[in-house]
Amino acid sequence: MKLVSNSRGSKMYIGGFPFTRHMMKNETIYWRCVQFRAFRCPARHRQRRTTGMLELVHSEHNHGPIQNRRKRGTLKELMRQRAMGQLNRNSDNTY
Ligand SMILES: [Zn+2]
């Protein structure tokens, strides 16, 4: 497992996915996938502050690893399509 911290120490790679520090509570740090908001990704980990040991909470992502920088517009496009899908659903409900 490769752990990477940036200068702010709020980002970590777990299994090739970047995670962001969500909150700290008592002796536990909660890490969430950086895509949790964009994709509502359920992947998350807990980390013991005392030992640094990671505990698996939910390991599965509902998306692939974001590794291809060339597809810069992909997420934006996906969000746009999702927004349009919601609009369509809303209009369906009016009938
Ligand atoms: Zn994820």
Question: Strand, helix or coil at 20?
Answer: strand
The pLDDT assigned to 6 comes to 46
Q: Where are the domains of the chain?
A: 2-92
The pLDDT assigned to 78 comes to 73
The pLDDT assigned to 7 comes to 46
For residue 56, give every residue at least 6 positions away whose Cβ sits within 8 Å of its Cβ, in sequence order, or none: 45
Measured in angstroms, how far is the CA atom of residue 88 from the centroid of ligand 1? Answer: 26
The pLDDT assigned to 10 comes to 86
At the second CATH level, the architecture of 2-92 is Single Sheet (2.20)
The pLDDT assigned to 79 comes to 78
The pLDDT assigned to 27 comes to 94
Measured in angstroms, how far is the CA atom of residue 91 from the centroid of ligand 1? Answer: 30
Measured in angstroms, how far is the CA atom of residue 59 from the centroid of ligand 1? Answer: 9
Measured in angstroms, how far is the CA atom of residue 12 from the centroid of ligand 1? Answer: 12
Tens of pLDDT, residue by residue over 27-79, are 999 999 999 999 999 999 999 999 999 999 999 999 988 655 555 566 777 77
Which burial class, exposed, middle or buried, applies to 19 when counting CB atoms under 10 A from its CB (0-12, 13-18, 19+)?
buried
Cα 72 → chain centroid: 17
Measured in angstroms, how far is the CA atom of residue 26 from the centroid of ligand 1? Answer: 25
The whole-model pTM stands at 0.60
Q: What is the CA radius of gyration of the chain?
A: 17
End-to-end alpha carbon distance in the chain:
52
